[in-house]
Structure 1
Amino acid sequence: MLKYSTYNSIYSNTEGAQDHTLFGKLFHQMMDNNRRFLVRLVIILSVSFLCLTGFMTVLTSASEIVSYQEFVVSTGDSLWSIALDHKPYHMDTREYIDRIKQLNVMETSDIQTGQVLSLPHVE
């Protein structure tokens, strides 16, 4: 009977061939858990990205509106005319109207005489 042989099968025999080194065990464990690891990593990165994006949005919009001024709507006033009188020189009128609507939680541009509006002071 042959004690040593140079015979190599053309079929892979993975059942009997196990890597008993520490690196080999870690590699096989990582490959087994690779899909689960990647799913967890994607979820963690997505949640982190969304949290940071929301945090930066809050910081950005909070730093622009420093304070506000109350304004009582008179007869004949519109958001456009109010914005033209109170907006900063460099700002677009439509953008200032959007900020007025956002600060006063308004869905439409409808205003009424006697209504008190908060006008933002934008830097």
Structure 2
Amino acid sequence: MLKYSTYRSIYKETPRVDPIENRFSSVRMISSLFMTKAFRQANLIKVLMILMLVVSGFTVVGNVFASSIAQVKHQEKIVVVERGDTLWSIALKNKPSDMRTVVYIEGIKQYSGLENSSIQAGDILSLPIY
């Protein structure tokens, strides 16, 4: 057996690193990045702007989804069903101009506690006011 050898591998040898030491070295590297003056001065403004955009984006999205619920004023109009009336005709007369008739009919059914679309003359309906 040879005591000394001149053998060199053609493959790169990766040094074995203790996982705990490797974890701490990456923490040191990241903390040194954040502690440089260049990062603190130049990139701090960029990071704050991105953070502000993200927060305002969530605010806008929240307002968009909340606005459909906030439109209802919890007021209602009482209508007595006459002969020949249908939910469709009642909805066409009373719905806002920018609302689909089908959506308003669902609101009428919900406010009036109707399980289906059948109504009869003399029924009292509660119409939502948007």
TM-score where L is the length of structure 2: 0.47
Q: Name whichever structure is richer in strand by fraction.
A: 1
Relative contact order (C-alpha < 8 Å, sep 6+): which is higher? Answer: 1
Q: Name whichever structure is richer in helix by fraction.
A: 2
